[in-house]
C-alpha cells in the first residue's frame, strides 16, 4: 500500500535577492517552510557548502635548484618556504578531472605573479596578480606545478607519491571554493498563520565556483545522500559517470555548441546583432561574457536577457569555457555562417 502523507507547505522556488559577482557573493531566500524545517535545511546546506564542494588546487611543485622547501635560491628574495606558501593561494579553475602539469619560467629583475604560469587549455588562473616571488637582476625562477581536483582539505603528506622525483615538494591543498556561509531563519505568513519559516542564505566564494553553482551542487549532494533512505533496498547512487555516459554527454554538448544562432529562435534584432558580430554558433556565443556582448553595436540589456534565457533553455550560459575537442569544427562554423547568410537574405527579400 502506498504511503500517504499530509500536505507540507514548501517553497515553490529559491529567489536570488542580492548578488555581487565582483565579490563572488550571493543571497537567497526560500519560503515558506514548515516550522523547524528552515533551520534543518539551512544548517544542512551550510555544512555541505563548506565541506563538500569540489575545487582545484596545487598539490606539488618542483623548483629548479631546490632540493627541499627549507632552502633559498640565488637571485630570489623569498626562500622556498615562502614561495610554496604563496603558491597555495593561487586560485585555479580546472576543466579536467585528471591531474594537470603547469610550468612557470621567469627571469629577473621583477616580480613573479600567478599570471606568469604558462597557460593550459584545461586550467585557468583566476588571480593573475597574486604575488609568488621577487627576482633580482640575475635571478630566475623555473618550476613545474601539478594541479588536481578534490574537496575539503588534504595535508601535504597525502600528496607524496612512492615513486616521486627527487626535489618534488608536496603541498597541502585547500580545495573548497566556498569561503563563508551564513543562514538565518525568519517568521513568515501563510494565510492567517505566522509560524512558518523563511530561510535566508548567504554564500561567499573565492571565484573558483560561483555562489549559484555552489548552492546547486550542495543541494544535489544532499539529495543523492537521501535517495538511499527513500529506496533503501535499491542501489541508486552513482556519482561518477561511466565512460559510455561521458562520451554521450560530450557528443550532446558538441551537438548543442554546433547549432547556428539563427536556429534558437531569437528576435530579429538580437539575431542581426550576432550576425554583425560574426557570432555564428551557440558555442561561440556561450564563450562570450555579458561585458563582451554589451560592447557590440545596437546590443542592449533586452537582447542580452533574451540570449541568456535561450542559452539557459539549452543548459548553457554566457562566459563558459569548453574543451577544444567539443567546440564546432571550422566546417561546422562555415555551415552555420552560410545558413545565417541565407536566412538573412530571405528576411531582407520579405521586406
Give me the DSSP letters along 198-255: EEEEEEEE-SSS-HHHHHHHHHHHHHHHHHHHHSTTS-----SPPHHHHHHHHHHHHH
**Lowest mean pLDDT segment, chosen from 23-37, 154-168, 185-199, 256-270:** 256-270
Q: Give the pLDDT of residue 281.
A: 85
Provide the CATH number for the domain formed by 243-350 in this structure: 1.10.150.20
Q: Give the pLDDT of residue 22.
A: 76
Read off the pLDDT of residues 187-201 as tens digits, 9 standing for 90 and up. 998 888 889 999 999
| Predicted model pTM | 0.63
Residue 269 pLDDT more than 60?
yes
Percent of the chain's residues with pLDDT above 90: 48
Q: Give the pLDDT of residue 278.
A: 83
SS3 301: helix
**pLDDT, average across residues 339-347:** 58
**pLDDT, average across residues 152-161:** 91
Residue ranges in the chain assigned as alpha helix (H) = 37-51, 80-87, 211-230, 243-257, 268-276, 282-286, 290-294, 301-313, 330-350
**Maximum mean pLDDT: which of 125-129, 303-307, 329-333, 334-338:** 125-129
What is the pLDDT confidence band of residue 343, given thresholds at 50, 70 and 90?
A: low
Give me the DSSP letters along 278-292: T--BHHHHHTS-HHH
Read off the pLDDT of residues 2-59 as tens digits, 9 standing for 90 and up. 566 677 888 988 999 888 877 899 999 999 999 999 999 999 999 999 999 999 999 9
**Lowest mean pLDDT segment, chosen from 123-132, 138-147, 185-194, 258-267:** 258-267
Residue 153 pLDDT more than 50?
yes
- Report how far residue 283's alpha carbon sits from residue 223's, in angstroms, rounded to the nearest whole number: 31
Among 3.30.2350.10, 3.20.20.70, 3.30.1360.10, 3.90.850.10, name the CATH number for the domain at 15-53+178-230. Answer: 3.30.1360.10
Per domain, the residue ranges of the chain are 15-53+178-230, 56-153+164-170, 243-350
Q: Give the pLDDT of residue 39.
A: 95
Read off the pLDDT of residues 222-235 as tens digits, 9 standing for 90 and up. 999 988 787 655 55
What is the pLDDT confidence band of residue 237, given thresholds at 50, 70 and 90?
A: very low
Rounded alpha-carbon distances, angstroms, from residue 193 to 10, 37, 57, 187, 335: 14, 16, 49, 10, 60
Only one residue has cell 616571488, namely: 133
Percent of the chain's residues with pLDDT above 70: 86
56-153+164-170 shares its CATH topology with 243-350: no
Residue 243 pLDDT more than 70?
no
Among 3.40.50.970, 2.60.40.10, 3.20.20.70, 2.170.120.12, name the CATH number for the domain at 56-153+164-170. Answer: 2.170.120.12
Residue 288 pLDDT more than 80?
yes
Amino acid at each position: 500500500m502506498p504511503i500517504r502523507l499530509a500536505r507540507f507547505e514548501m517553497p515553490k522556488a529559491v529567489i536570488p535577492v542580492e548578488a555581487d559577482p565582483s565579490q563572488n557573493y550571493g543571497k537567497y531566500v526560500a519560503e515558506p517552510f514548515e516550522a523547524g524545517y528552515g533551520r534543518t535545511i539551512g544548517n544542512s546546506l551550510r555544512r555541505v557548502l563548506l565541506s563538500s564542494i569540489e575545487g582545484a588546487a596545487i598539490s606539488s611543485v618542483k623548483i629548479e635548484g631546490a632540493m627541499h622547501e627549507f632552502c633559498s635560491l640565488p637571485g630570489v628574495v623569498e626562500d622556498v618556504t615562502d614561495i610554496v606558501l604563496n603558491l597555495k593561494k593561487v586560485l585555479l579553475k580546472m576543466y579536467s578531472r585528471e591531474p594537470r602539469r603547469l610550468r612557470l619560467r621567469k627571469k629577473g629583475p621583477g616580480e613573479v605573479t600567478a599570471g606568469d604560469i604558462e597557460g593550459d587549455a584545461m586550467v585557468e588562473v583566476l588571480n593573475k596578480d597574486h604575488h609568488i616571488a621577487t627576482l633580482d637582476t640575475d635571478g630566475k625562477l623555473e618550476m613545474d606545478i601539478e594541479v588536481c581536483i578534490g574537496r575539503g582539505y588534504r595535508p601535504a603528506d597525502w600528496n607524496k607519491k612512492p615513486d616521486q622525483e627527487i626535489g618534488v615538494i608536496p603541498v597541502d591543498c585547500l580545495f573548497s571554493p566556498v569561503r563563508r556561509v551564513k543562514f538565518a531563519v525568519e517568521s513568515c505568513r501563510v494565510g492567517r498563520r505566522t509560524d512558518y519559516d523563511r530561510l535566508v542564505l548567504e554564500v561567499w566564494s573565492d571565484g573558483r565556483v560561483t555562489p549559484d553553482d555552489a548552492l546547486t551542487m550542495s543541494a544535489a549532494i544532499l539529495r543523492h545522500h537521501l535517495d538511499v533512505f527513500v529506496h533503501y533496498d535499491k542501489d541508486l547512487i552513482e556519482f561518477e559517470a561511466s565512460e559510455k555516459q561521458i562520451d554521450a554527454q560530450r557528443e550532446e554538448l558538441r551537438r548543442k555548441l554546433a547549432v547556428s544562432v539563427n536556429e534558437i529562435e531569437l528576435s530579429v534584432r538580437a539575431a542581426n546583432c550576432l550576425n554583425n558580430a560574426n557570432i555564428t554558433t551557440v558555442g561561440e556565443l556561450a564563450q562570450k561574457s555579458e561585458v563582451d556582448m554589451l560592447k557590440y553595436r545596437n546590443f542592449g540589456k533586452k537582447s542580452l536577457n533574451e540570449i541568456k534565457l535561450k542559452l539557459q533553455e539549452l543548459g548553457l550560459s554566457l562566459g563558459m569555457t569548453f574543451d577544444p575537442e567539443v567546440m564546432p569544427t571550422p566546417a561546422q562554423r562555415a555551415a552555420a555562417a552560410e545558413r545565417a547568410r541565407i536566412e538573412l537574405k530571405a528576411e531582407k527579400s520579405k521586406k
